[in-house]
Structure 1
């Protein structure tokens, strides 16, 4: 962590709400801290199927609320940003909505939403992706959703599918996606609704990028990470 962080990045890891841990991406988060001057807080939320919805979102909400109440005392700054990859992108969006609706908190300065799932009812690209041997097939999306969402739950309720929520009053967001990702439409649709709700947003679409491409070494990942770091740095400007 930087000695005198300029802000805080609340990071939520991916893994289909089923896998992963807060420390699984330490090198990536160390890069964020080094390049942006942000302190990074990563949430070790409870995982499905042992802890299905709403356990994971509840934990992320609790972490965000703790930061809002304690950031100044613990880190010396109240500038907050949030983000995550795949399921983490979904949970980051849900957390922003919960903070706004349940706690009247709209203080986050930016959202870094990376190949997130925003419609658990499945967008056209998710339904049509099929069994192509990429990291996330249509069947995988269905299985992850089945583990996370209890039977009989409305998967398109806004607390599960933020695409259907009122998105007004949310911070600027950077949406990152590859064209060979089954969740392509989730990002395209969410970006459009984010803009239509009056929020700032940037869209970064990477030709040929599969789901999770930014986690693998290569020019495409380096390009994506550079833009994310720039976005997170820009979110801090003008706030003190």
Structure 2
């Protein structure tokens, strides 16, 4: 692998991880996230519970002079993560974009398989539109599993004539449970996320049920009339090729798309904040959302 040298230096220190014991992996993620600084200067942070059945915990980041709203969905293979572990990342998205960011604490698999996470995200999207300063400037966004949920929200909002979504930002999203692309078949030993882990994540999320397009958006036959999209992929990520294929299909459906393939990176490598490429990734996420939500 021709990996970015700043990232490659950290790879030997990565523990081998899998999703067989999700409780243990959740603890590991919590410990990792606790050591990463957030960016909260000049920002109001509010903890809320969005009404619903069930209620959904959220953490709201509101920078000074915030413009627009982002419903932000964390990664973690649909079975790890919460508003606490997402704090370093959601705060950065808010700081760099200048938008109000609503970080969603959706229910996790395998205890709560599909459609629980999507239902929670939908509850928060509806609430965000009802409470936004400008309901015409609401975006959905997320990383990894959260990116897949953001794509599913865009599909559901279109199909059910739901609230208008101005933009979708999909960062290394999980979109296709079939795992038949070249990257999904060949990246068996990539850092942090590999084929085996992807197989486990999808199994936990689907809970033995057949996948629908709302679970795996790549299965949708119709990608027309969706919001403009930004899709970012990592070179050494099992999701890479399904994400690129999704971007191409969106373009072929007359949806405006910006696609950025980050060379030398791997799934989740932006967590290594000292690397220049990680800083550039966060800067770009912020700039893209700021531009999309501008008046």
Runs of at least 5 residues in structure 2 that lack an aligned partner in the other structure: 1-61
Residues 190-229 of structure 1: pairs in structure 2 closer than 5 A? 190-217=246-273, 218-229=275-286
Q: Secondary structure, in 3 states, of the residue corresponding to 1:62?
A: helix
2:240 aligned partner: 184
d(CA) in 2 for partners of 1:182, 1:129: 8
TM-score (norm 2): 0.74
Q: Secondary structure, in 3 states, of the residue corresponding to 1:186?
A: helix
**Which has the higher Rg, Structure 1 or Structure 2?**
2
After superposition, the CA RMSD in angstroms is 1.5
1:144 aligned partner: 201
Q: Secondary structure, in 3 states, of the residue corresponding to 1:177?
A: strand
Count, aligned residues: 231
Residues 104-156 of structure 1: CA deviation (Å, up to 9, x unaligned): 136222111000111111131354235314111211111111111122x222x
d(CA) in 1 for partners of 2:171, 2:64: 27
1:98 aligned partner: 156
1:47 aligned partner: 108
d(CA) in 2 for partners of 1:106, 1:168: 17
CA contact (8 A) 1:9 1:39 kept: yes
CA contact (8 A) 1:11 1:84 kept: yes
Residues 7-86 of structure 1: pairs in structure 2 closer than 5 A? 7-71=68-132, 76-78=133-135, 79-86=137-144
Runs (4+) of structure 1 exceeding 3 A deviation are none
CA contact (8 A) 1:5 1:77 kept: no
Deviation at 1:219, TM superposition (A): 1.0
Distance verdict in 2 for CA 1:126–1:160, change over 3 Å: farther
d(CA) in 1 for partners of 2:183, 2:206: 17
